Amino acid sequence: MVSLPKVNELGFFEIRLESIGGLGANLAGKMLAEAGVMGAALNGVSFSSYGSEKKGSAVKAHIRFCEPDTNIRDTSPVERPHVVGIFHESLSKTVNVISGIYEDSLVLVNSVKSTAELKEKMKLKGGTIAVVDAIGIALEEQNRVNMAMLGALFRLCPFLDAEFMKGVIRKSLEKKYPQAVQPALRTFERGYNEVVFETFALPEGETMPAFVRQDTPVLGFETQPLGGVITNPGNSILKDLSISRAGMMPQFDDEKCIHCAACDNVCPDFCFVWDELPDKKGRPQMFLQGIDYQYCKGCLKCVKACPTEALSEERDDDQYAGQHRVPHRFDRAVV
Ligand code: SF4
Ligand code: SF4
């Protein structure tokens, strides 16, 4: 039996996975828990919480381990994780992915950025940041992001046996998908070997932000707005779909575009920005200006529809996430 490196006041070592539906964090959580229980003789539990259960929306997976003489009677979400695995870097714009971390928690991010850049981006004062290019590995090995993240998570949790996990991967795939066994194992191993870490000391006099539980306000007859009025209606203008992209995004080449609008006809999220400009003869025509990446979910339907290869696939680059390479369509609208 192995010992847990640290535990909270209830005796638990806790992991939280921050992800989007479709990247496989739920399965990764279950596999982590199985490795702890079956491979390391710990007590363990894994469960997930979903939003709208839509592919591309934010999800969380929670894993809890303890020594076998401790019972797990706590199935509440992990609020103070010892390890956080962030499956999509852009999540940090809309979700407080580092909520509740300790000074010595480990934060693993799927990214091509450096640890210092991620520290800046996530506004971390100190602690250990681990980074792995899980999307890049998954694309190269033609496998899934969760396998690369799982490999990196095993490196962060040395009490879990990576060899045991490889056996679980083999066993769960070889009957139905034997051709997927080797790519999955390679992806897992690359995640394990390619993750890099850096620890940043807390500057003198600084402390980690205090953990604050976000309670949902209870609306009752005394607290609800007069007449039950909805004062904050939903508004899709502010929606940021960049977290829904699972690794690829379209790139626009103005030179090849014939402004036929085939891309706009298939785009489910009205990402294409047009402007009325004079054509060669001075007549007003609509010309495609580019893509508003704030609303692009990376489905790549537009790339398939484009007859001139003016649109092509490229690796999702977070510098465009939530931004627009062209004037925002609503900059010109009356808001
Ligand atoms: S489908 Fe291609 S050529 Fe047509 S408007 Fe879109 S980008 Fe331009
Ligand atoms: S990939 Fe293309 S079709 Fe899909 S949401 Fe983005 S711009 Fe629209």
User: pLDDT tens for residues 195-220?
Assistant: 999 999 888 888 887 777 777 777 77
- Statement to judge: residues 156 and 22 lie in one domain: yes
* Ligand 1 site, residue 263, Cβ cutoff 6 A: yes
Ligand 1 centroid–CA 301 distance in Å is 12
Q: Residue of the nearest CA to atom 4 in ligand 2? A: 299
Count of all residues that appear for the chain in the document: 335
143 three-class SS: coil
Q: Quick one: pLDDT at residue 326?
A: 53
Q: Which of the two residues, 206 and 306, has the higher pLDDT score?
A: 306
Q: Nearest 10 degrees: CA dihedral of 80, 81, 87, 89? A: 60
- Residue 298, in any domain of the structure: yes
pLDDT at residue 80 in the model: 93
16 lines ligand 2 (CB under 6 A): no
- Output the DSSP codes for 203-232: PTT--PPPP---PPPPP-TTTSPGGG--SS
Same domain, 287 and 189: no
In the three-class reduction of DSSP (H, G, I as helix; E, B as strand; rest coil), residue 318 is classed as helix
Give yes or no for residue 122 having a pLDDT over 50: yes
In a mutational test of the pocket of ligand 2, which residue from 236, 240, 288, 297 has the highest number of ligand atoms less than 8 Å from its CB? 297
Q: What is the pLDDT of residues 248-268, one digit of tens each?
A: 899 999 999 999 999 999 998
Question: Residue 253 region, left (φ>0) first, then alpha (ψ -120 to 50), else beta?
Answer: beta
pLDDT at 312 exceeding the cut of 70: yes
Is the CB of 208 within 6 Å of ligand 1? no
CA angle 183, 188, 194 (to 5 degrees): 115
65 lies in the same domain as 109: yes
Please indicate, yes or no, if residue 227 is contained in any of the structural domains: no
In a domain, 205, yes or no: no
Q: Which ligand has the shortest distance to the CA of 252?
A: 1
Asked whether residue 149 falls in the same domain as residue 32, the answer is yes
Same domain assignment for residues 185 and 256:
no
The reply to whether 167 and 310 lie within a common domain is: no
172 part of a folded domain: yes
CA of 94 to the centre of ligand 2 (A): 20
| 206 within some domain | no
- Does the C-beta of 27 come closer than 6 Å to ligand 1? no
Evaluate whether 87 touches 60 at the Cβ level (below 8 Å). no
Comparing 37-41, 231-235, 330-334, which segment has the lowest mean pLDDT?
A: 330-334
Confidence at 333, pLDDT banded by 50, 70, 90: very low
Is the same domain home to 103 and 160? yes
Q: What is the pLDDT of residue 231?
A: 76
Alpha-carbon distance of 17 to 29, in angstroms, equals 7
CATH number of the domain bearing residue 250: 3.30.70.20
- The CB of 301 under 6 Å from ligand 2? The reply is yes
Task: Work out which ligand 2 atom sits closest to the CA atom of 270.
Answer: 8
CATH code for position 43: 3.40.920.10
Query: Which of residues 200, 224, 244 is at a domain's end?
Result: 200
Q: How far is the CA of 137 from the centre of ligand 2 (A)?
A: 23
Q: Of the candidates 182, 200, 218, which is a domain's last residue?
A: 200
- In terms of pLDDT, which residue wins out, 62 or 122? 62
What 3-state class would DSSP assign to 110? Answer: strand
Residue 330 vs residue 16, higher pLDDT: 16
Which of 291, 306, 317 for mutating ligand 2's site (highest number of atoms within 8 Å of CB)?
291
Q: Please work out whether the CB of residue 129 comes within 6 Å of at least one atom of ligand 1.
A: no
Last residue of a domain, one of 180, 200, 220: 200
What is residue 55's predicted lDDT score, i.e. its pLDDT?
Answer: 65
By alpha-carbon position, which residue is closest to atom 5 of ligand 2? 296
- Please write the tens of the pLDDT for every residue from 26-54: 889 999 999 999 999 999 999 998 766 56
pLDDT of 329 above 90: no
Question: 190 with 251, same domain?
Answer: no
Q: What is the pLDDT of residues 146-164, one digit of tens each?
A: 999 999 999 999 999 999 9
| Predicted local confidence at residue 332, as pLDDT | 42
Residue 218 lies in a domain: no
DSSP letters along 46-103, please?
EEEEESS--TTSEEEEEEEEE-TTS-----S--SS-SEEEES-TTHHHHS-TTTT--T
Q: Specify the higher pLDDT residue, 294 or 323.
A: 294
Question: Both 33 and 121 in a single domain?
Answer: yes
* Ligand with minimal distance to 285 CA: 1
Please give the pLDDT value at position 184.
94
Both 40 and 157 in a single domain? yes
Question: Is 229 part of a structural domain of the chain?
Answer: no
Residues 41 and 186 in one domain: yes
Atom of ligand 1 nearest to the CA of 259: 5
Query: For residue 54, what pLDDT is reported?
Result: 62
pLDDT(100) > 80: yes
Question: Phi and psi at residue 284, in whole multiples of 5°?
Answer: -70, 130
State both tokens at 300: 């790549």
Mutating to test ligand 2, I would choose from 242, 244, 300 the residue with most ligand atoms within 8 A of its C-beta, which is 300
Residue 204, pLDDT score: 87
What's the pLDDT at 152? 96
Q: 143 and 32 share a domain? A: yes
Distance 273 CA to ligand 2 centre (A): 12
To which residue do tokens 């809890």 refer?
64
Which stretch of 29-38, 100-109, 168-177, 273-282 has the lowest confidence by average pLDDT? 168-177
Q: With contact defined as beta carbons under 8 Å apart, do 243 and 282 qualify?
A: no
User: Are the C-beta atoms of 245 and 298 separated by less than 8 Å?
Assistant: yes
- Ligand 2, atom 8: closest residue by C-alpha: 267
Ligand 2 geometric centre to CA of 22 (Å): 17
| 303 has pLDDT over 50 | yes
Q: Is residue 27 part of a domain?
A: yes
d(CA 70, CA 97): 28
Cβ-Cβ contacts under 8 Å for 270 (sequence gap 6 or more): 264, 295
**Domains: count for the chain:** 2
Domain containing residue 255: 236-331
Of 182, 86, 111, give the one whose Cα is nearest residue 143.
Answer: 182
